[in-house]
């Protein structure tokens, strides 16, 4: 008790006064006639400046732990966090003004610690503010045209054969696939799990696969469907059908619902987002977490109130532009 009393009554006021004296000497105040009034004015400037500097890192830290807040098309959760941080700082200044100094040092210490422990750090904070200014207020409605299902000729068994071949390779319960999916589902965005929930696992897995997948043609232009274990062991190389098999198998291995869309010369996976509310939350997560990946808007399909987004290898973020809206087959998993 005596130690705490000593710190509160002696150390903090001395530290505050020293900072004020330094600033006062710099601007050549504190030696004026009305020393009491001048010192009071200088103290207010210092404490309010420190309060402002505390708000800047505190708001993104708070934002990580509050659920997404969507008003219309605007994502305003960081703005809400700034207001909460402002009110907290004002409360501290109102109750006991010198406490703002250790409060600022505490917040700064958390940022420094996270920088060395690979946690939420300054670059994440800057990304959050950039997202608020550039992305959250520029939402585009990129709804894709409805899928146009082309019925193959009566005697054309090529499509049916391709669908059967692709379906037979989906293997979410394979131990190698499951371990691969779990490992890379926690590689990115783990700091945002408390905010966006399991969605960040899907986004992390997508990011790893699409950042590392390399396109390799089939032998002699013949169709060869590689299983997900084979693609993993080969270093993530293959063509569009190999990527689709891998992505769907891995996503299903961690609980996601997917489907594959087979077009004339291409096949790609889609991720099920749920209803409009769930889609809006996923949209905010992608807008936020992929803001540095040349994000141009989220492309999606809406069918009877259910939403799907593109997971093709051609995009750097989930919900990239679609290649075609015509399909020979759509298979859900």
Contact 308, 300 (CB under 8 A): yes
Tens digits of per-residue pLDDT, 275-328? 988 998 898 888 888 877 777 778 899 988 999 999 999 888 999 888 877 888
Could you tell me how many residues make up the chain?
333
User: Measured between alpha carbons, how far apart are the two ends of the chain, in Å?
Assistant: 63
Rounded to whole angstroms, the Cα distance separating 312 from 142 reads 16
CA dihedral 220, 226, 230, 234 (to 10 degrees): 40
Q: What is the DSSP string of 274-305?
A: ESHHHHHHHHHHHHHHTTTS-----EEEEETT
Rounded to whole angstroms, the Cα distance separating 241 from 162 reads 10
What one-character DSSP code corresponds to residue 34?
Answer: -
Angle at 252 between CA 250 and CA 257, to 5 degrees: 130
Residue 73 confidence class, pLDDT cut points 50, 70, 90: low
Share of the chain above pLDDT 70, in %: 76
Class of domain 142-332: alpha beta
Residue 104 confidence class, pLDDT cut points 50, 70, 90: confident
Annotated domain spans of the chain: 2-135, 142-332
Rounded to whole angstroms, the Cα distance separating 23 from 44 reads 12
User: Which of 225, 184, 180 has the alpha carbon at shortest distance from 202?
Assistant: 184
């Amino acid at each position: 008790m005596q130690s705490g009393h000593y710190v509160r009554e002696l150390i903090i006021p001395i530290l505050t006064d020293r900072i004020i004296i330094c600033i006062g000497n710099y601007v050549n105040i504190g030696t004026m006639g009305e020393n009491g009034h001048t010192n009071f004015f200088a103290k207010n400037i210092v404490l309010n400046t420190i309060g402002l500097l505390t708000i800047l890192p505190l708001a993104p830290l708070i934002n990580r732990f509050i659920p997404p807040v969507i008003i219309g098309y605007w994502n305003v959760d960081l703005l809400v966090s700034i207001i909460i941080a402002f009110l907290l700082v004002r409360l501290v200044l109102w109750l006991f003004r010198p406490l703002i100094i250790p409060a600022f040092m505490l917040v700064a210490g958390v940022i420094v610690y996270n920088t060395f422990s690979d946690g939420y750090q300054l670059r994440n904070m800057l990304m959050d503010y950039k997202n608020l200014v550039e992305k959250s207020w520029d939402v585009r409605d990129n709804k894709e045209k409805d899928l146009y299902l082309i019925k193959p000729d009566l005697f054309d068994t090529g499509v049916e054969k391709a669908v059967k071949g692709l379906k037979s390779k989906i293997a979410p319960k394979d131990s190698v696939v499951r371990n691969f999916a779990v490992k890379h589902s926690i590689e990115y965005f783990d700091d945002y799990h408390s905010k966006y929930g399991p969605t960040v696992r899907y986004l992390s897995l997508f990011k790893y696969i699409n950042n590392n997948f390399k396109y390799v043609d089939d032998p002699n232009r013949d169709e060869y469907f590689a299983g997900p274990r084979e693609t993993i062991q080969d270093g993530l190389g293959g063509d569009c059908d190999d990527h689709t098999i891998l992505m769907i198998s891995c996503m299903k291995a961690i609980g996601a619902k997917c489907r594959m869309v087979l077009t004339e010369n291409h096949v790609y996976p889609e991720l099920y987002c749920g209803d409009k509310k769930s889609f809006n939350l996923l949209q905010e997560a992608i807008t936020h977490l992929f803001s540095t990946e040349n994000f141009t808007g989220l492309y999606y399909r809406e069918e009877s109130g259910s939403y799907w987004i593109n997971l093709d290898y051609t995009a750097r973020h989930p919900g990239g532009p679609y290649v075609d809206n015509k399909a020979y087959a759509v298979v859900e998993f």
